[in-house]
Amino acid sequence: MGLFNKHSEIIREASLFRRNCAQVFDLLGYRSFAFIYDSPQDSAAIMRSLTNKRILLGVTGGIAAYKSAELTRMLVKAGAEVRVAMTPSAIEFITPLTMQALSGQRVHLDLLDADAEAGMGHIELARWADLIVVAPATADFIARMTHGQADDLLTTVVLASTAPIAIAPAMNQAMWADDITQNNLEALQNRSINVWGPASGKQACGDVGPGRMIEPQEIADRCIGVFNTTRLTGLKILITGGPTQEAIDPVRFISNYSSGKMAFALAAEAAEAGAQVTLVSGPVHLTTPDRVSRIDVKSAEQMLDAVMDHVAGTDIFIGVAAVADYRPVAPEEQKIKKTKNTMTLPLVKNPDIISRVATLSSAPVVIGFAAETENIEANAKEKLQSKGLDLVFANLAAETFNSNDASVIALSRQSQQTLGPGSKRSIARLMLDLIAEHFEKKTIPTEA
Ligand code: C5P
């Protein structure tokens, strides 16, 4: 994809900075202050860098298991959805209740637990994960994993998953140095398993040497590094889509031909690029894209309420919905009977949702759409000004409504270009490229 290098650089820089600080504080003996020196910018980048990512944390039975609690907290803080699987010996070191409280999810313990399997079975869990991290990984676990043994839940899930896998070994230095362990690790690395660490130093048993699990912060940073971050990673994006329906009486309404396809394509692509997407949708016949939070509404007023309820903290607002311009002044409580030859329906103007968002005191970057039947450019320019938009995508209503394809003119105060024709998914990717550019221009100050 063409999107997205700068944001990932910021995240990497921030991680590096944080690691360097951690080392200095370590040297000074102030490790417990690890979180105090986050600058607001760093923590914002770090906090969002695992948005939409599903991480399965495997915990095996070593003394370093107590650090898995901190790791869980960090991954959750970085935006990941975390599930924890523990081996029977791990629960001798740290309780499943602790891990459940920190991950917010029931801990996976037993391959043969019918109840747990009914919730999310081991194969489902293996498919669910975008990344499996085993921390700490004991010598025994590494041996069983190397030989494809599937004799507990964690080894079974690891064997059944096609997701990237990383292990953070933790063991006594002599066990680490043993040829058997080293051969097992070589075999795992040849199968593209990531081996993170171990660190060297004083061990719980009193020995000194390699075998300490690397710090939770370093494991969390490496998890971030597994995924391609994009310019949209972690941004909060609110999208409206579909038509609205304005009630005339209990069985009739005013609406339009909007299918919602463009909004759903944008939501799907933005979520894929790592954004945290909320989609406020009018009545449509479309499936909610993976990792998109959807709120269903009918009328313009309901859409406005849903938008206002969710707009706080939004980075980018995209108004794709074909909101009905007018609604009946007072919908009838009973079905209107056809007693007269003609009838008049008094209408009142609906609130302009996008303009309301654009005039908020801490308004996000605001993107609008203009579906026109004539004078596309002139009408789009007028909307850009009158509604206070940062960018507007304009096209011919007849060509776009209910179609799988689109071709649009992108208009901002500084530039104009044509995107497409192409499928709505491919146009959505191009639109998000432009949107990311505008977001950066508006929010990242240029050097004087
Ligand atoms: O005024 P018009 O409907 O042509 O403007 C289109 C743009 O304004 C779209 O982005 C649409 O989602 C938004 N809009 C809105 N609330 C309205 C009318 C339009 O958010 N009541």
pTM of the complete model:
0.79
Is residue 71 in contact with ligand 1, taking CB distance under 6 Å?
A: no
Q: How many CB atoms lie within 10 A of CB 131?
A: 22
The packing angle between helices 261-272 and 424-443, to 10°, is 60
Length of the chain: 448
Tell me: pLDDT of 229 over 60.
Answer: yes
pLDDT digits 0-9 by tens, 248-286: 999 999 999 999 999 999 999 999 999 999 999 999 999
Pocket test for ligand 1, best of 238, 262, 352 (most atoms within 8 A of CB): 352
Tell me: pLDDT of 309 over 90.
Answer: yes
Is residue 394 in contact with ligand 1, taking CB distance under 6 Å?
A: no
| Catalytic residue IDs | 205
For 118, counting Cβ atoms within 10 Å of its Cβ (0-12 exposed, 13-18 middle, 19+ buried), the class is exposed
Is residue 281 in contact with ligand 1, taking CB distance under 6 Å?
A: no
pLDDT digits 0-9 by tens, 140-198: 999 999 999 999 999 999 999 999 999 999 999 999 999 999 999 999 999 999 999 99
Residue 98 has what pLDDT? 97
Q: Which atom of ligand 1 is nearest to the CA of 354?
A: 20
pLDDT digits 0-9 by tens, 240-250: 999 999 999 99
pLDDT band at 47 (very low <50, low <70, confident <90, very high): low
Q: Tell me the domains of the chain and their CATH numbers.
A: 6-226 (3.40.50.1950), 236-329+346-443 (3.40.50.10300)
pLDDT band at 3 (very low <50, low <70, confident <90, very high): very low
Q: How far is the CA of 413 from the centre of ligand 1 (A)?
A: 18
pLDDT digits 0-9 by tens, 146-159: 999 999 999 999 99
Q: How far is the CA of 240 from the centre of ligand 1 (A)?
A: 10
Q: Using CA atoms, how far apart are residues 150 and 159, in angstroms rounded to an integer?
A: 7
Q: How far is the CA of 320 from the centre of ligand 1 (A)?
A: 8
